[in-house]
Amino acid sequence: MDTEGEFAPATAAAARERYAALGSTAQVVVREVAKAMAMDADEYDRRVTNGVIETARDALFASLLEVRVGSRTEYESWLAEEGYDETAVEEVGSEHVGNVVWHAAPTGAVVAATFQDERRAAVGTLRRQAFGRVYRDLVAGSGDDDEADADGGDDADSGPDER
């Protein structure tokens, strides 16, 4: 069994803090992608909505989540050692394959995805599942004040050409 990722929030508050902190990073990423796509300021203002920035923040948060990867036996042993009850586990995939990737959330839930050979795909799927099933509601409303104006300002200078 091994671990991938950088962030395993111990509390709901820690998850909310990290999510809020990623707001400005998401804005920068979207702005730089818009520049690479040669968007001018008018197109940026028209196409880059709060929803676009929010999606970037969601993806960044999910991509940082720490997950464990192991065999079905290792996973089941971990569940037993940690004292997780079956009702706390949300597993996607087939129980008839040999490998599992999982994440224990600060809410007490465990989200897991099974896989046979495609570890990388399973890790990505699991992170999206964990965000959607646990963290989306947990971090809702934890954004910072600039969420209302996702591009950081009302003027055209705040678009993709601003440095």
The answer to whether 57 and 49 have CB atoms below 8 angstroms apart is no
CB atoms within 10 A of CB 105: 21
What percent of the chain lies above the pLDDT cut of 90? Answer: 81
Q: For 46-102, how does the pLDDT look when each residue is reduced to its tens digit (9 = 90+)?
A: 999 999 999 999 999 999 999 999 999 999 999 999 999 778 899 999 989 999 999
Across-strand partners of 4?
A: 67
The answer to whether 68 and 2 have CB atoms below 8 angstroms apart is yes
Q: For 93-132, how does the pLDDT look when each residue is reduced to its tens digit (9 = 90+)?
A: 998 999 999 999 999 999 999 999 999 999 999 999 999 9
User: Of how many residues is the chain composed?
Assistant: 163
Kind plus residue range of the DSSP H or E element containing 103: strand 99-104
